[in-house]
Amino acid sequence: MSESLGNNGDTNPSRNKTSLPNLKKKKKLRGSKADICGDEMEIDDAQDHEHVQPAAYIPGRSRPLMEDEQLVMDKSSYRMYYEFQVESASLSFDILLDNLGSNREVEVNGPPTTACLVAGTQAPREVNNNLVVVRLTNMRPFIRK
pLDDT (tens digit per residue) in 123-135: 999 999 999 999 9
Predicted local confidence at residue 102, as pLDDT: 76
- Of 22, 17, 27, residue with least CA distance to 71: 22
pTM value is 0.49
**Would you say residue 16 has pLDDT above 60?**
no
- In degrees, rounded to 5, the angle at the alpha carbon of residue 106 between the alpha carbons of residues 109 and 138 is 75
Boundary of a domain, candidates 77, 96, 120: 77
Predicted local confidence at residue 110, as pLDDT: 86
**Would you say residue 73 has pLDDT above 70?**
yes
Predicted local confidence at residue 9, as pLDDT: 43
Boundary of a domain, candidates 77, 98, 118: 77
Higher pLDDT, 131 or 47: 131
Query: What is the total count of domains within the chain?
Result: 2
